[in-house]
Each structure stands twice: as structure tokens, then as C-alpha cells.
Chains A and B, each alone.
Chain A
């Protein structure tokens, strides 16, 4: 479910990126467990979109980046609406956090003095 949901979110006008829903320190226990269960395996990165079932309600948590050219409040409401539509008719609550407002393209490293 997570990958299609990420695509649904990225399709919302103004969304530039989807960050892992939980920050690194929250994801570390899962990464450590992954390594313990599969010795030699690379730790998996956290899921970008966190989807949980809580007493029959689906709770979706997502962190996004928004284009500087967009209107952030409209983009965020658009993300919530898109997630709700994608998961219909399930009863859904959506938590969206904007973690970055900037142009989408990262500048390559090693270019500071170039």
C-alpha cells in the first residue's frame, strides 16, 4: 500500500518530495531489528508513508516538501484529500507535516567553489 500512496502524494500539485514519516531516531530501533534478524543484510530505510490501523480507523502519517512556488496550506490540504480519496471508503485520519519549502532540485555536492 505504501508505494502507491507515495505516488498519490507526489502527484499532488506543489509536492516536491516525500520524506520518511518518522524521523531517524524514531526509525533506528526498526533498522537495528532488521539487521539483527537478517545478519549481513543492509538495514532497510523507514517507510516513507506510515499507515496504521487504529481501532478500525486508518491513520496515515506523511512528511512532505513543498515547492516555493506553491501555496503550502493548499498543497497540504490537497495531500490530505488525495490520501482520503485513495483509501476510500475506509475511515481515515491523515497527518501531514511540511518539513521543507524549497525548489525541488538538489545541487550536487562538491560544487561549492565551482
Chain B
């Protein structure tokens, strides 16, 4: 699979994670237990691979080739998103405490919700707004690649609600809007006549 080579903060790459999923080989196996960013990356790659198999059930090899533009975009975005990012505060009961979650954890959460939508794969995920200030309005921008023939409006409405529910459960962000953009409509390969 053609993979971006950008390294994460921990020094590893999406390509190494992909190789690990395929072969089990990794230079520092204990690191995969202790690095949340690599764990999130492995989750995303597994879902992406499963989605690829679903979308191209008739041509599994093509799904894993990484030559499709939509998959290249997703992989490039993953590299950017698998970083801790900004610090998102959470209310504490003691003023001496400092409670927070990473932007990377929240983006990975949104991505996992989107990837659960049948026939869809999350592309770029962004939190627009100052997430570091409690109460500031934040807009979630989510790009999707969907399989041709799906009812997009129904899917988008359902996904918007699922993302809103997940963010309400796991963050204290003031979500002003969830903007979903279908950036790719994937036409599954047809069998030759």
C-alpha cells in the first residue's frame, strides 16, 4: 500500500503501522501498548482496510493498493490527525486539578463514529474554533467518501446525530455545527461482462 512517510511525534510512521498490521513486525513492539497515537492509528487503519474490503468486495487487491485518490487523501489526513494536537479542557471539581483531553483523541473518536456508517469512510476531520477555551463555539468539519447508490441525505443526518451524541458524551465542547461534506462518491468496480 502506498503510505505517507511523515513521522508522528513518537517517531513512527503510518507505513510502519500498516506493516505491523500485515505482518506483525514492528521495531519496538512495547511501544504499541504505550503510545495512544499509534493505537489510534492502528484502529483507523483497521477500519479503513475493512471499509475498503466492503466497498470493493469484488476486488480486494484494488482496495488495498492505495492508488485511489480518495484513499490517498484519507491516508494523508490520518498522518496529520494522529498527533495529540491541542489540549481540550474539562471541568474539574478541585481548582488545583487540570483535566483535559487531546484534540487527537477527539478527532479519532469522530473518525470512528463516521467509519461505522455502512458504505462510508471518513476523510478529513477538523475541529474549527478555539477548543482550548471552554464554551467557545466549535464547528466539526467532516469529509466523507461514500459508496455510489447510498441515500446520502439520510446517511448524513444519521451520522450528524451520532457524532453529536458521541461528542456530548465524551467532551464538554460547545458544538455550534457539524458540517458533513461528501468529497468522494466511490463507484465500486463492476465485473467484466
A interface residues, Cβ below 8 angstroms from B:
19-20, 23-25, 45-46, 57, 63, 65-66, 68, 71-73, 76-77, 80-81, 84, 92-102, 106-113
Contact = CB atoms under 8 A, between A and B. Distances in A.
B49 A73 contact: no
Interface of B: 9-11, 20-24, 26, 30-37, 39-40, 42-43, 45-46, 49, 60, 64, 84, 87, 90-94, 96-102, 104-106, 108-109, 112, 166, 169-172
A81 B94 CA distance: 9
Contact of B90 (A46, A72, A112, A113): A72
A80 B40 contact: no
A91 B43 CA distance: 39
A92 B94 CA distance: 10
A37 B64 CA distance: 46
Contacts of A102: 39-40, 43, 108-109, 112
Given A76-B99, A98-B101, A111-B21, A45 B170 contact: no
A108 B33 CA distance: 12
Contacts of B87: 97
A77 B93 contact: yes
Give the residue among A100, A109, A112 with the most B Cβ atoms within 10 A. A112
Given A109-B21, A110-B22, A110-B24, A95 B169 contact: no
Contacts of A77: 90-93, 99
A63 B46 CA distance: 24
28 contacts: A19-B34, A19-B35, A24-B11, A45-B34, A57-B96, A63-B36, A68-B112, A72-B90, A72-B169, A73-B99, A73-B172, A77-B93, A80-B93, A81-B93, A92-B96, A93-B96, A95-B99, A98-B100, A100-B105, A101-B109, A102-B108, A102-B109, A106-B42, A109-B20, A110-B23, A112-B21, A113-B49, A113-B60
